[in-house]
């Protein structure tokens, strides 16, 4: 089985899992060993609800947030070295459910965005 065939099968599995839960958000679960060999590291790469790129190892060992898709892919390759990894691109939004080990400035930007939203929601005196 080629890596592309593994990716295609994994994407079908993700789509099926997502349709069983919320149709607008993919569920990130470890991939079935029938889809991708456990010897091949797999990473989910997709966008979250804020439009940021998410890279998350299929078993939840590591993940990160990024501004660019290429940065998310580089992160996945770096964390699967020296071997390559299978990349799974869910069509639905995904959220990072592990500690952000990606771009640290994104965490600061998200905190600033939440603070600004709270300030803007306050009634004017």
Q: Read off the pTM.
A: 0.65
Q: What is the tens place of the pLDDT at every residue in 41-87?
A: 889 999 998 889 999 998 889 999 999 999 999 999 999 988 888 89
In angstroms, how far is CA 70 from the centroid of its own chain?
13
14 CB-contact burial (10 Å; exposed 0-12 / middle 13-18 / buried 19+): buried
Q: What is the tens place of the pLDDT at every residue in 85-114?
A: 889 999 999 999 999 999 989 888 888 888
């Amino acid at each position: 089985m080629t890596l592309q065939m593994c990716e295609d099968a994994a994407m079908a599995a993700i789509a099926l899992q997502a349709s069983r839960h919320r149709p607008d958000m993919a569920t990130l679960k470890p991939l079935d060993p029938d889809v991708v060999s456990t010897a091949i590291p797999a990473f989910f790469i997709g966008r979250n609800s804020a439009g940021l790129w998410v890279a998350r190892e299929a078993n939840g060992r590591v993940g990160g947030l990024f501004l660019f898709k290429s940065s998310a892919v580089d992160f996945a390759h770096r964390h699967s070295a020296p071997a390559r990894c299978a990349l799974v691109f869910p069509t639905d939004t995904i959220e990072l459910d592990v500690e952000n080990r990606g771009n640290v400035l994104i965490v600061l930007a998200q905190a600033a965005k939440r603070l600004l939203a709270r300030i803007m929601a306050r009634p004017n005196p």
